[in-house]
Amino acid sequence: MAALIREGDTLVLQLTTMEKVEGIHGDLRIPFSSVQSITVLEDAIHAVHGMKMPGTRVPGMLAMGTFMSNQGKTFAIVHHQTKRGVKVALTGAPFEALIVGADDPERVISALGWASN
C-alpha cells in the first residue's frame, strides 16, 4: 500500500511496485512548502474525478495514476479495499492534489506533522 511520509522538507508518496505499474508513475517527491492542506476523506474512491491520463481506473473500485479535471491535475492511489483516505492540496507542484487511500488517515496526517492553521 502507498505511503505518504515526510523526509525533512519533502513530502514523499512511496508506491509499491504494482502501484508504479498501475499508476504509470514512480514515487513522488514534493517540497513540503507546496502543501496547502491535508484533509481526511471518508470516501476516497469517489473523491477522484476527471479523465485518467495515464493510469488505471475501475469505477468505484480503484483509481491509480494521473487524473485531469476542471480542478487541475490530481495523482491518486486508491484501492477498493481502502474506503477512507487523505487529500493533499498543493500549490506550485506538478499536481494540484494527491488522493491516497489510507486505513487510518488521521494517523497519516499526524505522522506528517501537519497542523491546520
What residues does each domain of the chain span? 3-111
Residue ranges, the chain, pLDDT below 70: 116-117
pTM: 0.94
C-alpha cell at 20: 508504479
40 with 56: CB under 8 angstroms? no
In the Cβ-directed half-sphere of 65, how many Cα atoms lie within 13 Å?
18
d(CA 103, CA 68): 25
28 with 34: CB under 8 angstroms? no
Tens digits of per-residue pLDDT, 50-74?
A: 999 889 999 889 999 999 999 899 9
